[in-house]
Amino acid sequence: MNEPSPDPVAPRGKPARRPRRKAAAEAPAMLSIPADAGIEETGPLRELLAARLDDAVVTLDGSQVQRIHTSALQLLLMFSRDRARAGHRTVWHAPSATLHGAARLLGLVPFLELARELS
């Protein structure tokens, strides 16, 4: 049989509470810069970076970079700059000699905060 529909004027119970997100800090994101960061890779790299723009801390892994185009360096520069302006931290993990050399050639090392640790 048909069940009566709920009275639309009758008060409803309290709405279900959404589970609270924990305030604990999430593990910092680690983004790997591709080994071949040529101009053809700037679209995917931009999407990768854009997804993490608002994270509190992002670590960029540049250890695999063997080729990097100026457009990729520009993306990394804008990503780092925008994050710094928003008060977020961007750190580097093991930047390759290729990555560091290209940034040095263009005068971007201080702007990218790309400290090359020599072991």
Instruction: Examine residue 19 and state whether it is found in any structural domain, yes or no.
Output: no
Number of domains composing the chain: 1
- Whether residue 99 lies inside any domain: the answer is yes
Position 5 scores a pLDDT of: 52
Q: Is residue 56 part of a domain?
A: yes
CA end-to-end span of the chain:
79
Look at residue 18 and tell me if it is in a domain: no
The pLDDT tens digits of the residues spanning 14-67 come to 544 444 333 345 667 899 999 999 999 899 999 999 999 999 999 999 999 999
- For residues 53 and 82, the answer to whether their CB atoms sit within 8 Å is yes
Q: Does residue 21 form part of some domain?
A: no
**Residue 54 is assigned to a structural domain of this protein:** yes
For 78, the domain range is 29-112
Convert the pLDDT of each residue in 55-109 to its tens digit: 999 999 999 999 999 999 999 999 999 999 999 999 999 999 999 999 999 999 9
The answer as to whether 53 is a domain residue is yes
- The answer to whether the beta carbons of residues 65 and 35 sit under 8 Å apart is yes
CATH number of the domain at 55, please.
3.30.750.24
- Tell me the whole-structure pTM to 2 decimals: 0.72
